[in-house]
Amino acid sequence: MTEAVNVGRLRVPPRAKRGEVVEIRLLLQHPMENGFRRDTLGRSVPRNIIHRLVAHYDGREILRAELGTGMAANPYFAFFTRAGASGEVIIEWEDDLGVKGSLRAPIEVS
Amino acid sequence: MRILALSLALLAAPAWSQSPRSGLEFQGEDIRRLQGDDFANPAMLWAERGAAAWQRKQGAANTSCADCHGAVEQSMRGVAARLPAWDARLGRVSTLEGRITACITREQRAAEPAPESHDLVGLLAYVALPSRGMPLRVDVAGPAQASFERGRELYAKRIGQMNLACTHCHDRQAGKTLLAEKISQGQPTAWPAYRMEWQAAGTLERRLRACFLGVRAEMPNYRDDDLVALQLYLAWRAQGLPLEAPGVRR
């Protein structure tokens, strides 16, 4: 299954009260090839890991992750942040093949 | 009259000792939690691909699934719970996958999608979603009967170097431990499902083929009539259990 895929799901609460702690959840479809496997013909499968993942909220970096070969395929992330001002949560990532992806979702703070 | 009622009751109830239980009950807490959470359930990634494929125009006819069928919530409600079924136009029993591939080649006039391609599994998951929670109820009478009897025969037939039939594990040993896993009853309610071992979502056919490999038997080809017959029998055997697709399995 080496079909190029770049699908993800991002969920943030659309509305929050100021100062409230909100959970941000992210699920990406990615093979996360660790580079140690061989295919059915014995050829080595090149490493392809989402090595960098950054989350911004309202223009501020709130999470930066450097991932390695220990992650399973289709990684799932959940983390928390404090709702300050209305703004957009932007998640960006890049894998070893140079494929970049991003997802965004707004939070309206009242 | 009493004999008739009794024989009808015997026909209605699948003939094994345990009452049917979803494969989810044989899974660990982690898998159950994952399937219970529609966001974290990785099979939903495929359903999302399917939603995109449903809207995509393709083939010589340049039509999308949505052009004819509209919204899945209305047009596909309950469909996945009553398949496999006899298809008069195809002249054989057909699974949901068979219906979709027939529609793609016949109506969209596009190339037949490869077995287990991401978009096809996605479409299966997406089309099954509106039937989630509905009890399985397949029609095995009439023209479907020959295929159903074939499926029942295959289920009980010893195969492979291990000389085992489906029934030996999934009826007589269900609930016991095999290596690190609990043996399930082999109920097909979660499929298409995300399987941890594959790190991908796949169809019931792929799962059944894995069972053939497990008993060291020759694997039937994808979309083989025997595999369809087996799926029809399994759906009948699971009747009354609610559909869980797209599920998660170890």
- Please indicate whether residue A72 or residue B14 has the higher confidence score (pLDDT): A72
Residues of A in contact with B45 (CB under 8 A): 7-9, 27, 29, 74
User: Mind giving me the DSSP string for B65-126?
Assistant: HHHHH--HHHHTTTTGGG-SEEETTTTEEE-HHHHHHHHHHHTS--PPPPTT-HHHHHHHHH
Residue B166: domain span: 17-249
How far is it, in rounded angstroms, from Cα B105 to Cα A69? 40
Residue B2, domain member (yes or no): no
Which of B118, B126, B206 to mutate to probe the A interface, most A CBs <10 Å? Answer: B118
Active site residue B211: yes
Which of B46, B126, B197, B199 to mutate to probe the A interface, most A CBs <10 Å? Answer: B199
How far is it, in rounded angstroms, from Cα B187 to Cα B237? 8
Residues of B in contact with A49 (CB under 8 A): none
Of B40, B117, B200, the CB nearest to A27: B40
pLDDT attached to residue A8? 86
Residue B3, domain member (yes or no): no
| Total domains in the fold of chain B | 1
The pTM score is: 0.85
Residue B155, domain member (yes or no): yes
What string of pLDDT tens digits covers the 250 residues of chain B? 455 554 544 444 444 567 899 989 888 889 999 999 999 899 999 999 999 999 999 999 999 999 999 999 999 999 999 999 999 999 999 999 999 999 999 999 999 999 999 999 999 999 999 999 999 999 999 899 999 999 999 999 999 999 999 999 999 888 899 888 899 999 999 999 999 999 999 999 999 999 999 999 999 999 999 999 999 999 999 999 999 989 999 9
Average pLDDT of chain A?
88
Residue B249, min C-alpha distance to chain A (Å):
15
Residue B192 preceded by cis peptide, ω within 30:
yes
Would you say B24 and B35 are in contact if contact means Cβ atoms under 8 Å apart?
A: yes
Q: What angle do CA A73, B118, B86 make, to 5 degrees?
A: 135
Domains and CATH numbers, chain A: 7-109 (2.60.40.10)
How far is it, in rounded angstroms, from Cα A37 to Cα A20? 44
- Which strand (E) or helix (H) includes residue A86? none
Residue B10, domain member (yes or no): no
Residues of B in contact with A31 (CB under 8 A): 199
Q: How far is CA B41 from CA B2, B37, B122, B149, in A?
A: 48, 6, 14, 35
How far is it, in rounded angstroms, from Cα B53 to Cα B66? 9
User: Mind giving me the DSSP string for chain B?
Assistant: -HHHHHHHHHHHS-SSSSPP--GGGGS-HHHHHHHH-TTT-THHHHHHHHHHHHH--BTTTTB-HHHHH--HHHHTTTTGGG-SEEETTTTEEE-HHHHHHHHHHHTS--PPPPTT-HHHHHHHHHHHGGGTTPBP----SGGGHHHHHHHHHHHH--BTTTTB-HHHHHTTSTTSEETTEE------TT-SEEETTTTEEE-HHHHHHHHHHHTT-PPPPTT-HHHHHHHHHHHHHTTTSBP--SEEE-
Convert the pLDDT of each residue in B35-86 to its tens digit: 999 998 999 999 999 999 999 999 999 999 999 999 999 999 999 999 999 9
Residue B92, domain member (yes or no): yes
How far is it, in rounded angstroms, from Cα B55 to Cα B139? 30
Of B40, B44, B118, the CB nearest to A5: B118
Q: Name residues whose C-beta falls within 8 Å of residue B95's C-beta, 6 or more positions apart in sequence.
A: B83, B84, B204, B205, B228, B231
CATH number of the structural domain spanning residue B120: 1.10.760.10
Q: Name residues whose C-beta falls within 8 Å of residue A30's C-beta, 6 or more positions apart in sequence.
A: A5, A6, A48, A50, A73, A74, A75, A95
Residue A46 preceded by cis peptide, ω within 30:
no
Report yes or no: B219 at the A interface, CB cutoff 8 Å.
no
